[in-house]
Amino acid sequence: MGDHSRPFPGKRRALLGGFMPKKAVWLIIIFTLLFILGINSGELNFLLNLGNTICLSCIGVG
């Protein structure tokens, strides 16, 4: 069986695995702001135009 001598072995491993709630929250805020910035700078139209044309690079033309 596993090591029972240490307290809360499972939790300890999860902590070592990199529990970083503050980082996650900050990243979510940053990425949400980036997404909003992208929408408001006209990237949505760029994306729409891009998606509506056939990607010649994907086909391997050239």
Site size toward other proteins (CB under 8 A) is 53
5 touching other proteins, by CB under 8 A: no
Buried b (16+ CB within 10 A) or exposed e, 32-55: eeeeeeeeeeeeeeeeeeeeeeee
DSSP state of 17: T
What is the contact mask toward other proteins in residues 16 to 35, using x (rule: CB under 8 A)?
xxxxxx-xx--xx-xxxxxx
Contact set with other proteins (CB under 8 A): 1-4, 7-21, 23-24, 27-28, 30-39, 41-48, 50-52, 54-62
